[in-house]
Amino acid sequence: MITTHRKHLEQRCQQRGYNLADVMPCVVSQDGDQWTIDVEHPAYPHKQPGTPDKPPSTTKKIGSWAKAVARWVKAGRPNRTDEEVARLVAICKRCKHYSPKGACRACGCNISNGAWAVTNKARMETEQCPKNKWT
């Protein structure tokens, strides 16, 4: 059970492709706009299988990038070869988390065939896929 504001449930429904009327059976009680929700109820708007993750926030992306660069620098800035980067990018492009803008929706990092490692996670030899599709 969770207690939340009605607008938050409406937003969750919209994000996940549900209609509020369809999920009302999971609402246990209402006190004005504060609703108690049974998240185990079958009508709760769970994430639908195959739906890509919401991209990380800008703050989270910056933090992820900074940690990646720190690991890479500490290891002596090792780079992958062009062939290895192309293989990894091909794996990423087949993934549901890959954005057509060239970024991973799971971690927010840029993924490309670019030569400059500091802006390309696939180029940094110290980095791996957050979904374990490559190391």
Q: What is the pLDDT of residues 14-68, one digit of tens each?
A: 777 788 888 889 999 999 989 999 988 888 888 766 665 677 888 988 998 899 9
Largest separation between any pair of C-alpha atoms in the chain? 60
Residue 104 confidence (pLDDT): 87
pLDDT band at 85 (very low <50, low <70, confident <90, very high): very high
Which of 13-17, 80-84, 116-120 has the highest average model confidence (pLDDT)? 80-84
pLDDT reading at 75 higher than 90? yes
Q: Provide the phi-psi class of 113: left if phi over 0, else alpha when psi is between -120 and 50, else beta.
A: alpha
Question: What are the DSSP E strand ranges found in 14-56?
Answer: 27-31, 34-37
Q: How confident is the prediction for the chain on average, in pLDDT?
A: 87
Residue 74 confidence (pLDDT): 97
In single-letter form, the type of residue at position 29 comes to S
In single-letter form, the type of residue at position 55 comes to P
**Side-chain-side CA neighbours of residue 71 (13 Å):** 13
Residue whose pair of structure tokens reads 């709760």 in the numeric block: 44
pLDDT reading at 96 higher than 90? no
- Cα separation of 109 and 123, whole Å? 11
pLDDT reading at 114 higher than 80? yes
- Cα separation of 88 and 119, whole Å? 15
Residue 5: strand pairing partners: 34
User: From the centroid of its chain, how far is CA 33?
Assistant: 30
